[in-house]
Amino acid sequence: MFRGITWKMSSAKIFLDANYIIYLRYAEDDKIYEYCLELLKKVDEYELITNIIVIDEVVWILWKKYGIDKSEIFEFIDRIVEFLTIIPLDEEDYKRLKKLMLNYGLKPSDALHVSTMSKAKTSYIITEDGEFDSVEWIKRIWRGKEKL
C-alpha cells in the first residue's frame, strides 16, 4: 500500500485523525479511498503525527464496526506507525483538554487531538470531522476544504 512513496521528515507537521487512517484500510466509497491515497502521496514532505487515542479509535472501529480480524488490524497498524510520530499524552494534555472542551465544545478525544497538535506546533489536521473548524487556528484538510 505504501510502496513508491518517499517519506521525508520535515519541520512541517500534519496530524492524522482516525477516520483518515481507517479509510486507508476500509472505505465504503471508492472515491474516498482514492482521495485518501492521493492525499498520502501529497503529504510526503511532512512529518505525519498522531497520538495513541487515534490508534485506539482505529483499532476499535475496524474491529467492532467493520468486523476485521484483530491480527489483520494490527498488521495494518504496524505498517502505518512506521511512517508516523506518535506524540505522547501527559498531564498537560488534560489541562488543555478542559480548556478546549469548555471553549470550543469539543469531545474529549477531539480535545486531546487538538492538544497534541498544539504540543507538536502544527495547525494542520487531516480529518473529515468538521468539529475542528470551530478552533480558529486549525487548518482542516479534507476533500475540497484545504489545500496543502
pLDDT digit string, tens, across residues 16-53: 999 999 999 999 889 999 999 999 888 878 999 999 99
44 within domain boundaries: yes
98 within domain boundaries: no
What is the greatest pairwise CA distance in the chain?
Answer: 44
111 within domain boundaries: no
CATH code where residue 21 lies: 3.40.50.1010
Q: Work out the pLDDT band at 144, boundaries 50, 70, 90.
A: confident
Cell numbers representing residue 103 in the block: 471553549
pTM of this structure: 0.89
26 within domain boundaries: yes
- Determine the pLDDT at residue 109: 97
Per DSSP, helices labelled H in the chain are 18-25, 30-42, 52-60, 70-81, 91-104, 108-120
User: How far is residue 51's CA from residue 137's CA, in Å, rounded to a whole number?
Assistant: 19
What's the average model confidence in pLDDT over 114-129? 97
Residue 137 is part of which domain span?
Answer: 13-89+121-141
52 within domain boundaries: yes
63 within domain boundaries: yes
Total domains in the fold of the chain: 1
Name the residue among 72, 81, 86, 83 with its Cα closest to residue 25: 72
Cell numbers representing residue 62 in the block: 475496524
